């Protein structure tokens, strides 16, 4: 069930640009200060033989640890080879033999594999994978001793929301267990792919009603430019048609060469234009929009979908394209200014009109979350979105929900110290009656605005 993998060979930069990775730890620095005090104090001034022997013996131990750390760390830097597999959500059963996708809010299994290597006694190697984006906590994998086989370590992580998560670096730190020395190796310059696509958690088939943005009379209209239907039409034979299209039975009876010709291709009776007002924490809104797009595809309706943070001039035309767009635009999906919304709506309407030629757009379906940590900003954005569409003589249709919070925290369990610190902050700094991250329901207020402006709203 492997979903993604990455292999990182050792990284040995040129000597002219390589940083000094061997660092003195606080323990070794304090030890050297104490040794200097012994050597320059009791050992020199009072001729204390015991102090002198102790000082130089301990100095030899510290220098030995530093030397071994430098030599072994340099060797690891040249030969260390790492790889890891990121498996999909535990318990998620894919519909086919394809690997299980990575889902936001679900526990994913990260398996770290290191090629065989040996460490000196009293030394350890700590490895941690770091992502470029904030929000994912990763564990430190510790290796010790000798092994002639590949070393494997696992951890469980949770991606808080959808997006393309990039592995920025893999940090390896070689040190002794007494804390006298450490050698840091940062693995990042690799040609291998380093990003993982995390999908919003899928929803059940959408029960929402279909709202067509532009309707045509009849079931469908013929396409005047291309004939891509089934070859059921008949026409006089032309040499460019080929021998296979000739109806030989008709030729035997009438003596005329008649060939099959494709029927006129048909376009759907309606189109649905969708705008998804979803930030990074609103994965369930994205799941609802994707489920709605799949329903439209089953009904053979054309889809034109854009979303908050879409910086391109193109819109998605399918359910799969809608999901890709919602994933790729998540890092720009922020409620910043009304100008951003106006530009994105302008791009959506313009691109749709270019594709639909002279079809008049009457409605735009707008997905919005029911819960938000910034309710005032979200209400202003919804109102600005509706006013912008109304100025274009287009009626907004708001689909609000669901009410289940979609914001997930990191996978690492908080320690006792962090829990105590959180409690102290709540008692000392924050007011007990307030919660800065509490999600507020905007359904009633948005419903009131829609009633005043005669906008359609679906809950």
Domain total in the chain: 3
Residue 85 confidence class, pLDDT cut points 50, 70, 90: confident
Does residue 141 lie in a domain region?
yes
The DSSP code for 170 is E
Q: Which residue has the tokens 């099959």?
A: 260
The alpha carbon of 447 is separated from its chain's Cα centroid by a whole number of angstroms, namely 32
Write down the pLDDT at residue 430.
43
For residue 209, is it within any domain?
Answer: no
Does residue 284 sit within a domain? yes
Adjacent-strand bridge partners of 5? 85
Torsion 403-406-412-415 (CA) sign = negative
Looking at the structure, tell me whether residues 125 and 241 fall in a common domain: no
In this structure, the answer to whether residues 399 and 303 fall within a common structural domain is yes
- Tell me what pLDDT residue 352 has: 86
Within a domain: 127:
yes
* Residue 158 phi, psi dihedral angles, 5° rounding: -130, 125
Do 300 and 362 share a domain, yes or no?
A: yes
* Inter-CA distances, 421 with 322, 418, 427, 435, 436, Å: 42, 5, 10, 16, 17
Q: Are residues 238 and 118 in the same domain?
A: no
* Rounded CA separation 171/156 (Å): 18
State pLDDT tens for residues 421-443. 555 454 444 443 344 445 567 77
Element (H, E) at 291: helix 283-298
> Taking CA 14 as the corner, what is the angle to CA 10 and CA 18, rounded to the nearest 5 degrees?
85
Q: Whole domain around residue 299: which residue ranges?
A: 214-218+271-458
For 15-25, what is the mean pLDDT? 54
Instruction: For residue 392, give both structure tokens.
Output: 């274009």
Q: Is 14 found in the same domain as 86?
A: yes
pLDDT in tens, 406-416: 333 333 444 45
Residue 409 counted as domain residue: yes
Half-sphere exposure of 34 (CA within 13 A, CB side): 13
Average pLDDT across the chain, whole number: 75
**Residue 51 within a domain:** yes
Predicted confidence (pLDDT) at residue 143 exceeds the cutoff of 70: yes
- The residue that leads in pLDDT, 274 or 20, is 274
The C-alpha torsion from 279 through 104 and 440 to 453, rounded to 10°, is: 50
Statement: the pTM of the whole predicted model exceeds 0.85: no
Q: Are 285 and 368 in contact (CB under 8 A)?
A: yes
Q: Does residue 167 share a domain with residue 100?
A: yes
Q: Domain of 328: which CATH number?
A: 3.40.50
Helix intervals (H) in 299-374: 319-328, 338-356
Instruction: Assign residue 99 a region (left: φ > 0; alpha: ψ between -120 and 50; beta: otherwise).
Output: beta
Same domain, 344 and 435: yes
Residue 214: the pLDDT is: 73
Q: In terms of domains, do 66 and 10 share one?
A: yes
* pLDDT reported for residue 325: 93
Average pLDDT of the residues in 6-29: 54
Six-digit token string for 106 = 């679900």
Token digits of residue 35 = 């040794």
Beta strands in 66-201 (DSSP E): 82-89, 102-103, 107-114, 123-131, 141-144, 151-158, 163-176, 181-187, 195-199
Give CA angle at 413 (412, 414), nearest 5°: 110
User: Percentage of the chain surpassing pLDDT 70?
Assistant: 73
Same-domain check for residues 233 and 326:
no
Who has greater pLDDT, 172 or 52? 172
Residues 365 and 309 both lie in one domain: yes
Q: Examine the domain organization and report whether 304 and 185 are in the same domain.
A: no
**21-25, 354-358, 366-370, 379-383: which range is least confident on average?**
21-25
Whole-number Å distance between alpha carbons of 369 and 443 = 9
Q: Is residue 297 part of a domain?
A: yes
Inter-CA distances, 110 with 84, 107, 157, 176, Å? 7, 10, 7, 26
Better pLDDT: 337 or 191:
337
Which of 133, 128, 293 has the alpha carbon at shortest distance from 198? 133
- Do both 255 and 282 map to the same domain? no
Q: How many CA atoms lie within 13 A of 394 on its CB side?
A: 27
**Residue closest to 99 by CA, chosen among 202, 199, 4, 198:** 4
- Residue 153 inside a domain? The answer is yes
């Amino acid at each position: 069930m492997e979903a993604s993998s990455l292999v990182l060979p050792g990284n040995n930069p040129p000597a002219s640009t390589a940083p000094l990775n061997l660092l003195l730890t606080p323990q070794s620095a304090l030890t050297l200060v104490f040794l200097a005090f012994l050597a320059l104090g009791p050992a020199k001034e009072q001729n204390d033989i015991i102090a002198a022997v102790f000082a130089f013996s301990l100095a030899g131990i510290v220098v030995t640890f530093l030397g071994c750390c430098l030599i072994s760390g340099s060797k690891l830097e040249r030969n260390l080879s790492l790889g890891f597999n990121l498996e999909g959500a535990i318990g998620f059963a894919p519909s086919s033999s394809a690997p299980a996708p990575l889902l936001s809010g679900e526990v994913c299994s990260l398996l770290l594999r290191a090629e065989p290597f040996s460490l000196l006694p009293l030394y350890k190697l700590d490895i941690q994978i770091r992502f470029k984006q904030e929000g994912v906590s990763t564990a430190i994998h510790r290796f010790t001793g000798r092994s002639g086989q590949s070393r494997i370590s696992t951890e469980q992580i949770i991606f808080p929301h959808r997006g393309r998560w990039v592995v920025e670096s893999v940090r390896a730190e070689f040190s002794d267990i007494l804390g006298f020395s450490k050698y840091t190796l940062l693995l990042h310059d690799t040609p291998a792919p380093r990003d993982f696509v995390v999908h919003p958690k899928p929803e059940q088939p959408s029960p929402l009603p279909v709202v067509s943005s532009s309707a045509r009379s009849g079931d469908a209209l013929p396409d005047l430019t291309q004939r891509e239907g089934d070859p059921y039409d008949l026409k006089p034979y032309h040499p460019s048609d080929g021998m296979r299209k000739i109806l030989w039975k008709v030729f035997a009876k009438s003596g005329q060469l008649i060939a099959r010709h494709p029927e006129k291709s048909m376009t759907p009776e309606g189109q649905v234009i969708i705008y998804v007002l979803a930030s990074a924490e609103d994965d369930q809104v994205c799941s609802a929009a994707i489920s709605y797009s799949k329903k439209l595809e089953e009904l053979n309706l054309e889809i034109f979908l854009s979303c908050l943070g879409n910086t391109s001039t193109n819109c998605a035309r399918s359910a799969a394209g809608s999901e890709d767009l919602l994933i790729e635009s998540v890092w720009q999906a922020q409620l910043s200014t009304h100008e951003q919304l106006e530009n994105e709506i302008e791009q959506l309407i313009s691109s749709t009109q270019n594709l639909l030629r002279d079809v008049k757009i009457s409605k735009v379906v707008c997905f919005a979350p029911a819960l938000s940590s910034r309710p005032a900003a979200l209400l202003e954005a919804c109102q600005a979105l509706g006013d912008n569409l109304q100025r274009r003589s287009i009626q907004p249709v708001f689909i609000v929900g669901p009410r289940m919070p979609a914001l997930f925290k990191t996978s690492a369990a908080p320690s006792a110290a962090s829990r105590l610190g959180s409690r102290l902050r709540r008692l000392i700094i924050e007011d007990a009656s307030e919660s800065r991250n509490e999600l507020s329901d905007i359904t009633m207020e948005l419903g009131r605005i829609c009633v005043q402006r005669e906008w359609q709203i679906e809950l």
